[in-house]
Amino acid sequence: MEKFVRPQPIDREILLDESKVIMSKTDEKGIIEYANQYFMNICGYKEWELMGEPHNVIRHPDMPKVVFKLLWDRLFEGKNIHALIKNLAKDGSYYWVITRFETKYDENKKIIAHFSYRKAPPRQAIETIIPIYKTLINIENKHGLETSEKYLFNLLEDHGLTYDEFILQTAGVTQEELDLYFENSL
C-alpha cells in the first residue's frame, strides 16, 4: 500500500463555486468512504486516492488543532457543528469552506457514519477568522492544545456566543439559512 504524502502548502487559493456543495461520507472514525465529484475536483485527488484515507488528509497546517478537537468531540456526542475550515488540496493550494455535519446511527444508536457538507463561505468570514486561527495556533505551539481550548472558550464567552453561533454570525447567515442552502443544493 502506497503511503500518503501530505503536499507542501503553497499560497494559492482555489475559489469555490458558490452554487455547489462538497460532500463526503466517513465511517465512525473519520475514514473516507465516499466523496462527491465536486469534492474530488476541488481537492485534486482521484477517488481511489481518497477512499480509505482519514479525512484529515486535506487538513491545512494553518488550521488550529482545537477546532478539530471541538469538531470531533461534538460529532462523537452526536451533535452537529458548523465550522470555517481551510483545507489543503493535492497540489498544495488551499480552499475555505463552511461546513455542516450529520451523524448516522445504527438501530442500537451506535455511530456508523458522518456526512459532511461544505460550501464557499463569505470572504468577510474568512478575513475575520484568519487572525483568530493564527492566535490559536500560536497558543497551541507555545502552551499546548488545552490552553488554546481555554482561550477559544473565553473568547466565545466574551462575545456571549456558542461556537456555532460565532461561526454563523461570522459567516453572516442563520442556522436556518445555512441548513436550507444545503438541503436545496443536494
Residue 147 belongs to a domain: yes
Residue 43 belongs to a domain: yes
In the DSSP assignment, the letter for residue 13 is B
* Range 159-176 average pLDDT: 92
Report whether 167 contacts 119 (CB < 8 A): no
Tell me the average pLDDT of the chain: 93
Rounded-to-integer distance, Cα 136 and Cα 73, Å: 18
76-107 pLDDT, tens digit each: 888 888 999 999 999 999 999 999 988 999 99
Containing domain of residue 33, as a range? 22-185
Residue 129 belongs to a domain: yes
Of 122, 126, 147, 125, whose CA–CA distance to 136 is shortest? Answer: 147
The percent of residues above 70 in pLDDT, for the chain, comes to: 97
Residue 10 belongs to a domain: no
15-39 pLDDT, tens digit each: 999 999 999 999 999 999 999 999 9
What pLDDT band is residue 54 in, cutting at 50, 70 and 90?
very high
- The total number of residues shown for the chain amounts to 186
Residue 8 belongs to a domain: no
Residue 179 belongs to a domain: yes
CATH code at 160? 3.30.450.20
Listing DSSP states for 120-168 in one string gives: PPPHHHHHHHHHHHHHHHHHHHHH-HHHHHHHHHHHHHHHT--HHHHHH
* Range 46-54 average pLDDT: 94
C-alpha cell at 52: 480509505
What domain count does the chain have?
Answer: 1
Residues 6 or more apart in contact with residue 160 via CB below 8 angstroms: none
Residue 7 belongs to a domain: no
pTM: 0.93
Listing DSSP states for 99-130 in one string gives: EEEEEEE-TTS-EEEEEEEEEPPPHHHHHHHH
On the question of pLDDT at 186 being above 70, the answer is no
Residue 17 belongs to a domain: no
